[in-house]
Chains A and B, each alone.
Chain A
């Protein structure tokens, strides 16, 4: 297999999980959540903390838990009547503070190689196969579980709380508290993305700030991707309110984004590669700009709100 395809397949689950979590907060809860970086760090830290003593699967639970805790803190900072900071500031504060906490948890290290735990992670199986198997299974499970959860009363309560909080109050339910639960869910998903990132790269890097921008890029590209897809597949166009269709956007965006990234980093060579890898952030910024401006014409994702913060 082409190395760039393999690299994209490793990258895809990370991007898919992170952008699904980001998508839930942004589109279902209408919460522009900047906690993403903290949740990714939480997921990574869980691997570093739990793998030596408890093994890989307990570290997965811990990753989801730490992700949920970051979401909980952001939610409470925003929802608490006495603190009541804005959604964006709440996420920024938690992300900012989380670095110090996770830095300490990892024994005052921001970088940690997991190379010596390869046996614990992969056992005697082929690491490449394990990575692909775990990554894709996680994506499928999270996609199915979250899409199904949004069809239950709890899922609808999350959506109504995000979009029409006053309607929830009239039903005697505090929308802020429902929103906090939603942020726990979305950031738990992101935490799992951070976990997979650490496991598949056998490396923890807390300094990789800016994951939220990549997630946003994937979501915006996903809107465009879904719009294009609906031209060819009528079932997508006709069921645009279905959560299984709505959640295609972050998945498709993550897929396209992973392939573009791998293509740039693996296939291109010479001057062009040098220029692009040097200025990858600039390229990403232009990619988002392009997909937002062109993609707007193709939107079919019913969850897209014209007044979206991003």
Chain B
């Protein structure tokens, strides 16, 4: 199988403002993302980092990001909304709560994305349970491999809303184990965590088997020791409305 890759071609993000000319935020004419590589995306506040991630997550309307700006390895060009149907995209938001349903249990939050993403056909949607003995066993076995996730073991039945922000972000990351994405997008994933949880987050990320997965991390933390030690990624910077590669510091 060919390694996963895609290119961003002619992406133009501009937000329509009533009664005013549209405000261009970001232009990206040619950038290729390869599976198995880590990309750090940096830029000032308001430079368009989150908009860029949203374009890849299919969260932008065609009015904001027109055209088929994502080119797949087979040459097909698609809009972000179609892209997320064809590619398994994992997303870790800045605020851990944004990816967690607080009224569901920890175990449900762990497996639900994978279960929804792999359902197709009416029998699949309605004919089986999301949480059964086998899936619980799998979850215990997978979580058991990572000591840093040990705290989740006793809390499988607790509702996720009872976990702290740091624990929730680790839960989000652990959910990747089940989801097996091809592309992971993280929006300043550790900016709301304390030092201890930040270390645990990067430790866990480096321990996960994410071979072949492309990762884009929006971060201000390229100089911190955890990130620097974690791996040498491609450093991208948004400046002046465009994205360019910059040498690692």
Contact = CB atoms under 8 A, between A and B. Distances in A.
Interface of A: 27, 149, 151-157, 159-160, 163-164, 166-173, 238-241, 246, 302-305
Interface string B43-78: 000000000000001110000000000000000000
Contact of B103 (A149, A170, A172, A241): A241
B1 interface: no
B218 to A, nearest CB: 15
Contact of A169 (B58, B113, B131): B58
B112 A239 contact: no
A43 B111 CA distance: 38
Nearest to B106: A241
B101 A159 contact: yes
B120 to A, nearest CB: 10
A302 B102 CA distance: 8
A169 B84 contact: yes
B27 interface: no
Contacts of B211: none
Interface in B102-155: 102-105, 108, 112-113, 115-117, 119, 124-131
A171 B105 CA distance: 20
Interface of B: 57-59, 81, 84-86, 89, 91, 98-105, 108, 112-113, 115-117, 119, 124-131, 157-159, 161
A164 B116 contact: no
A169 B57 contact: yes
Given A156-B115, A172-B58, A305 B98 contact: no
B176 to A, nearest CB: 13
A136 to B, nearest CB: 25
Given A164-B99, A302-B159, A171 B129 contact: no
A198 B102 CA distance: 38
19 contacts: A149-B126, A153-B115, A153-B125, A153-B128, A153-B130, A154-B125, A155-B130, A156-B116, A157-B116, A157-B125, A159-B104, A163-B102, A164-B99, A166-B59, A167-B98, A168-B116, A169-B57, A172-B81, A172-B86
B116 A159 contact: no
A282 to B, nearest CB: 33
Main SS of chain A's interface residues? helix
Closest 8 CB pairs of A and B: A172-B85, A241-B105, A153-B119, A302-B159, A154-B125, A172-B84, A163-B101, A302-B103
Given A170-B84, A241-B157, A164 B100 contact: yes
Contacts of B113: 167, 171
A170 B129 contact: no
Given A156-B130, A241-B104, 12 more contacts: A152-B126, A153-B130, A155-B130, A157-B119, A157-B125, A159-B104, A164-B99, A166-B59, A167-B113, A172-B81, A172-B84, A304-B103
B59 A169 contact: yes
Nearest to A174: B81
B91 A163 contact: no
B98 to A, nearest CB: 7
A212 to B, nearest CB: 22
Contacts of B85: 172
A171 B157 contact: no
A152 B101 contact: no
A48 to B, nearest CB: 32
A239 B115 CA distance: 22
Contacts of B99: 164, 167
Contacts of B104: 156, 159, 241, 302
A238 B89 CA distance: 34
Given A152-B129, A153-B130, A239 B98 contact: no
Contacts of B108: 156, 241
Given A152-B125, A170-B84, A172-B84, A305 B103 contact: yes
Contact of B157 (A27, A153, A163, A239): A239
A159 B119 CA distance: 15
B197 to A, nearest CB: 21
B103 A171 contact: no
A272 B89 CA distance: 64
A241 B104 CA distance: 6
A166 B116 contact: no
Nearest to B89: A170
A39 B161 CA distance: 33
Contacts of B130: 151-153, 155-156
A169 B125 CA distance: 17
